[in-house]
Amino acid sequence: MSLFSLKGKTAVITGGGSGIGKAIASRFAARGAIVYVLDFNNEEGERSVEEIRGNEGRAEFHRCDVSKQEEVKQVITTIAKAGPINILVNNAGVAHVGNVENTTEEDMDRLYQVNSKGVYNCLFAVIPYMKNNGGGCIINMASIASVVGLADRFAYSMSKGAALTMTYSIAKDYLDFGIRCNSISPARIHTPFVDGFIAKNYPGKESEMFEKLSQSQPIGRMGTTEEVANLALYLCSDEASFVTGTNFPIDGGYIKLNG
């Protein structure tokens, strides 16, 4: 339990009800953290917490729309009253497919509100507590779309680029307060969202499209949520105490080997 242990630490994970966020919440709880799952979806958030508790982990669910600052502040204040917040994982996000011509103003606003402003809202609420507690660790979930051009990901790339650059700013501004901040940039990770996207857009061709999307990573497959969770665990553990202000691609070689 000593290596990569989070025993005694409190972790706030947004979007912790499904996909990557759920895997991170589960892994952190298994390593001893008290996990607070924040999610917009009540059913998924409660299920995530129930599964953690079923594995003898400690977790609580708070419904939270990260795009609304007052709502975020209220939830974080409630959590902070129970004890110091040591870890924040800004994972909540939404997707959009389209280039600039078929991205509406509503699309842009929605992506900004959740993927960019949502990160800001959580940082704004949590950092004062981390300063008072003598430090902490933050992960912002970015994307390979933050650093390379992807077809038909105009609004998504914009929003995840903001998450990446906010990472650098936070790491620089709060270094002297003992706050570390890094970002993780996944390529395509196999989540329920991917399965739903394929089923909706390619009915009858699910297997064919799954294989095609898998092969878009040079390594020949999609990543797993558990692999992302393992990276997040390292970055939030004391073993990574010398690591801050860095973006970590987890992409099967996509950024460096595609092209």
Query: What's the average model confidence in pLDDT over 113-127?
Result: 98
Cα–Cα dist 66/198, whole Å: 27
pTM across the whole model: 0.96
**Active site (catalytic) residues:** 156
Task: Using pLDDT thresholds of 50, 70 and 90, give the confidence band for residue 1.
Answer: low
Query: What's the average model confidence in pLDDT over 14-20?
Result: 97
Query: What's the average model confidence in pLDDT over 245-252?
Result: 98
Predicted confidence at residue 259, as pLDDT, reads: 55
How high is the mean pLDDT of the chain? Answer: 96
Predicted confidence at residue 230, as pLDDT, reads: 98
For domain 10-187+224-253, say whether CATH 3.40.630.30 is its number.
Answer: no
Domain positions in the chain: 10-187+224-253, 189-222
The contacts of residue 137 (CB under 8 Å, 6+ apart) are 86, 87, 88, 179, 180, 181, 235, 236, 240
Predicted confidence at residue 111, as pLDDT, reads: 98
Task: Using pLDDT thresholds of 50, 70 and 90, give the confidence band for residue 8.
Answer: very high
Q: What is the pLDDT of residues 181-218, one digit of tens each?
A: 999 999 999 998 889 888 988 899 999 999 999 998 99
The phi, psi pair for 182, rounded to 5°, reads -130, 165
Q: Calculate the dihedral angle through the C-alpha atoms of 148, 153, 158, 160, rounding to the nearest 10 degrees.
A: -70
Task: Using pLDDT thresholds of 50, 70 and 90, give the confidence band for residue 243.
Answer: very high
The contacts of residue 57 (CB under 8 Å, 6+ apart) are 26, 29, 30, 35
Cα–Cα dist 75/52, whole Å: 20
